[in-house]
Chains A and B, each alone.
Chain A
Amino acid sequence: MANLRDIKRRITTVKSTQKITSAMKMVAAAKLRRAQDAIGTARPYATRMRATLEEVSKTPLDETHPLLAVHPEQRHLELVVITSDRGLAGAFNSNVLKAADRLLKSREKEFGEVGLTLLGKKAGDFFRRRRPHQIRYESPIGGDVRYEKAADVGRELARRYAAGEVDEVVLVYSQFVSTLTQAPVVRPLLPFTPPKAGLVAVSEDSALPFEIEPDPAALLAALVPKAVEVEVFRALLENQAGEHAARMTAMEAATKNTQDLIEKLTLQYNRARQAAITRELVEIVTGAQALE
């Protein structure tokens, strides 16, 4: 039977762990709400952007736009892998990294070279050990997601694509499905495919076509790089919301586990205490009987 004091000490340790996990859960819940708000505030911009792209796409598309052109030769694939900076979020990061690793292995045969753009420290840690020579760009997310960050990444990818350094760009990140579900998704980014008409509900005022100045090609040239940045931004935002949701769920489970453990230990403690008392009583009674 374990020593009374040992059990007491373990209960104290588990209790302090519980305090940490439940605090982390609370923090994650608050951050999740903020992250969901950020997705909400980004939506009007993305929706308008799409609607405008559709508007422009109605007139025959300028196929020569460098970001829309499909490269005939497939030599270099670039994978953009997005994870969080921190762990303790259940299988959140490892799901994405597994998906990315699988994709990397399966497409290596088609492409002569596969480069990696890694956003989030966990992606960096994972691939730095496995594929150190394939990393082209690496950066932590660093606190709240800013559009500037997405713009930097998007601009750089677009530049390399237009220059012919890469022939295809694919995003791998966690889609925020719901608080309980985050699924890794693989989404092609470049060559960019403009949205098909009809995907966005047409507002009542867009019955009249817009006059486009100076011409659709110029507007398209301005829009496409932005649309690429917006895609990256959306992926970053979903990743952020998913991270906090996953951490919240993981910490909730951890808190529950510590609770179970505390109950088990308390029972053990009480049993041990009871046994000690019984033993003492037996000793006293035996002592008294010996005197008679």
Chain B
Amino acid sequence: MALELVVVTPEGEAFSEAVQQVVLPGEAGRFGVLESHERFLTPLVRGPMQIIKPGGATEWAALSSGFAEVDGQKVVVLVDGCALKSEIDRDASENRRAEAARQLALLADTPENAGERLRLAEVAARAELEVEVAGL
């Protein structure tokens, strides 16, 4: 019996399939989950997720932060956003990253700009991860 992986985002279910193994970006580093893993809950950070399908094929996805609920048969990943490698437009992501980085560089580091800087950094980091995942 395989492991059931479900990725839930606020905009719907991004992925739901039986897999052999999944490697998730945990706060303390990447960790793999196989079938019959002990039950646990842990926060996830932004990073690539590696899915190994029953036949051995590998799929990658860019995950935003969130958390994972693991039990023996099922892994539920709750994240803000999940982009599968096949859905990523590398050039568009690269453009978004460059644009956010450019705007960030233009914005002075003052208390009034703190919120906007945070937002731009977020956009840039997300786009950068997408570029990275697209290249895997």
Q: Report which A residues bind B (CB closer than 8 A).
A: 38, 41-42, 44-46, 48-49, 52, 55-56, 137, 146-148, 150-152, 155-156, 159-160, 205, 208, 210-214, 218-219, 221-223, 226, 229-230, 233
Contacts and interface: CB of A to CB of B under 8 A. Distances in A.
A211 B71 CA distance: 10
Nearest to B43: A222
B99 interface: no
Interface in B62-118: 65-67, 69, 71, 76, 78, 80-81, 114-115, 118
A155 B43 contact: no
Contacts of A147: 9-11, 80-81
B10 A52 contact: no
Contacts, number: 91
B124 to A, nearest CB: 13
Contact of A152 (B9, B11, B42, B119): B119
Given A45-B9, A147-B81, A222 B38 contact: no
B11 A42 contact: yes
Given A159-B115, A211-B39, 8 more contacts: A147-B81, A210-B40, A210-B41, A212-B40, A214-B28, A219-B41, A230-B10, A233-B10
Q: Enumerate the 9 nearest inter-chain pairs by beta-carbon distance, A residue then B residue, closest first.
A: A222-B43, A41-B12, A211-B40, A156-B115, A210-B41, A147-B10, A213-B42, A45-B10, A212-B41
B59 interface: no
Contacts of A221: 43
Given A49-B78, A52-B69, A155 B41 contact: no
Contact of A155 (B40, B78, B122): B122
A9 B58 CA distance: 69
Nearest to B114: A159
A140 to B, nearest CB: 16
Nearest to A136: B115
A159 B28 CA distance: 24
Given A45-B10, A45-B78, A55 B65 contact: no
Contacts of A205: 71
Contact of A208 (B27, B28, B39, B76): B39
Contact of A45 (B8, B114, B118): B8
A50 to B, nearest CB: 11
B13 interface: yes
Contacts of B38: 211
Contacts of A151: 80, 122
A38 B9 CA distance: 12
A159 B80 CA distance: 18
B9 A155 contact: no
Interface of B: 8-13, 26-28, 38-44, 65-67, 69, 71, 76, 78, 80-81, 114-115, 118-119, 122
Given A147-B80, A212-B40, A160 B12 contact: no
A107 B23 CA distance: 50
B41 A44 contact: no
Contacts of B26: 213
Given A45-B8, A46-B10, A52 B42 contact: no
Contact of B67 (A41, A52, A159): A52
A210 B80 CA distance: 22
Nearest to B126: A148
Nearest to B26: A213
Nearest to A46: B10
Contacts of A222: 27, 43-44, 65-67
A116 to B, nearest CB: 15
B115 A41 contact: no
Contacts of B122: 151-152, 155
B76 to A, nearest CB: 7
B42 A44 contact: no
Contacts of B80: 147, 151, 226, 229
Contacts of B119: 152, 155-156
